[in-house]
Structure 1
C-alpha cells in the first residue's frame, strides 16, 4: 500500500496544534509491570500443562506428540472427525520442517482429498467445502489457549475459518505465557527488520458466542470443533 501526502498532512496537523511535528514517539517506561508476573519463570513443560487445562475450558481437544509420531497423531485426530475426508492445509517451510509432505501423501493414499494453500484461485472454494483445516501456530498463548497465525500467501485465513473443524499444530517452542509475551515477540521481530504479516489472527478454540444472558453457543460463525496437536520440537 502506498501512502500519499503523509508528510504534508502531518505537518499541517502539528501546525494546527501549535507545536512542532514529532518524528519519533518512544513507548513510556513503567516502573510496575504486573503483566510480566503472570506465569513468570514457568518452564515450557509447565506452560504445556496450563495450555492443556485451558483447552478443557475452551472446548478444544488436546493431543501431545513427537515429530516422529506426528503422522500417527494426525490420523488419530482425523479419524475422530467422521466423514471429514476433504482437508486443506497451510503451506510454507513448516511442511518440510515437520515432515508433513510425507504425512499428507500417506493420507491421500487412504482416500483423503488434500489441498495445500498457495494463494491460488480455488483455494477459498476448496476451504469452503473442506471438512478440516490444518494450521501451524506461530505463537501460542498458554493462559488463554490461543494460537497465533501470521497469515500470508502460505497461510490464508480461510483455512481456520471456513471448514467445520480445524487442527492447530503447535510446536512446543512457540509457547509463551500470555498476550504480553506474544506482543513482545511481534514487536521484537519488527525491530530486527523481520516484518510480521500485516494480518495476524488470534484464535482461541472453536468459534463461540454468548447472548445477553451469557448462554454459551459453540460453532456460531466458524469451526464447531478444534484440536490442538502439540509437537515436541525442543
Structure 2
C-alpha cells in the first residue's frame, strides 16, 4: 500500500507539538526488570523439569528420547494414536536428525507421509486437513509456559500445526529457554546479525483450548485436539 505525504504530515505534527521531530527512539532504562530474573541461572535439566510440570497443566504429553532413537519414538507415538496420515515440516533438519530415511521406511510400511514444501501449495494444505498428525521442530522452547516457537517458512507451513488432529513438536533440548523474554532476545539478536527471521513466528502452547464465560474448558475448537512434545537430547546431533 502506498503512503503519501508521510514526511510532511509528521513534520507538521511535530511543529504543532512545539518540538523537533524525532526520528529514533531510545530504549528506556527500567529500574526493575523482573522478567530477567525468572529461572535465572537454571541449566537445561532444570528447565526440562519445569517444562514437564507445565505440560501436565496444558494437557500435553511429553516423551523424552535420544537423537538415535527419535525415529522409533515417532513411530511409537503414531502407533499409539492409530495415526496413518502424517504431514511433516521439511528442510535440512529432517536429514540432520535422520528422519528422511525413517519416513521412507515407514512409507513402505503403509504410512502416508507428506513432507511440506512451498511448491506443494494448496495441495499440501488439503493434506494437512486430512492428516492425523502434523510434525514440526521447535526453534525456541519456553519452559515456563510449555510453549514451542515456530519460525514458519517455506519448509514449515502454518497448516502443519493448525489443521491435523494431533500436534507433534520435536523439541531439541538445546532450544530450551526460561520464557518469552529469552525468545524475544534471540529473535532480536538474529535480526541485529543480519540473519533473516521468519515474517511469521508462531507460539503454540499445547492443544487448542477455549473456555466460555463460565470457564468450561473445550479442547480442539480451533486447532489440534491432542499435543505431544518429543524432547530430544541433541548433544550428539
**Same fold by TM-score greater than 0.5:** yes
Q: Which residue of 2 aligns with 1:118?
A: 117
User: d(CA) in 2 for partners of 1:26 and 1:75?
Assistant: 51
User: d(CA) in 2 for partners of 1:199 and 1:168?
Assistant: 17
Structure 1 segment 92-111 matched on structure 2, within 5 A: 92-111=91-110
Alignment CA distance shift 1:92-1:15 (3 Å): farther
Which aligned runs of 4 or more in structure 1 are off by greater than 6 angstroms?
none
Q: Give the CA deviation at 1:152.
A: 1.0
Structure 1 segment 215-234 matched on structure 2, within 5 A: 215-234=216-235
User: d(CA) in 2 for partners of 1:99 and 1:9?
Assistant: 56
- Over aligned residue pairs, what C-alpha RMSD do you find? 1.5
Q: Give the CA deviation at 1:89.
A: 0.5
User: d(CA) in 1 for partners of 2:182 and 2:89?
Assistant: 24
Q: Which residue of 2 aligns with 1:147?
A: 148
Q: Give the CA deviation at 1:161.
A: 0.3
Q: Which residue of 2 aligns with 1:89?
A: 88
Q: SS of the residue aligned with 1:105?
A: helix
Alignment CA distance shift 1:216-1:179 (3 Å): same
1:100-143 CA distances to partner (integer Å, 9 max, x unpaired)? Answer: 10111122122111111111221111111111100000000000
Q: Give the CA deviation at 1:4.
A: 4.2
- Structure 1: give runs of 5+ residues left out of the alignment: none
Q: Give the CA deviation at 1:7.
A: 4.3
Higher deviation after alignment, 144-153 or 103-112: 103-112
Asked if residue 46 in structure 1 is aligned to residue 46 in structure 2, the reply is: yes
Q: Which residue of 1 aligns with 2:67?
A: 67
Alignment CA distance shift 1:171-1:13 (3 Å): farther
Asked if residue 197 in structure 1 is aligned to residue 164 in structure 2, the reply is: no
Alignment CA distance shift 1:72-1:198 (3 Å): same
Q: How many residues align?
A: 232
User: d(CA) in 1 for partners of 2:218 and 2:104?
Assistant: 36
- Structure 2: give runs of 5+ residues left out of the alignment: none
Q: Which residue of 1 aligns with 2:57?
A: 57
Q: SS of the residue aligned with 1:63?
A: strand
1:198-230 CA distances to partner (integer Å, 9 max, x unpaired)? Answer: 111000000010111111111111100000001
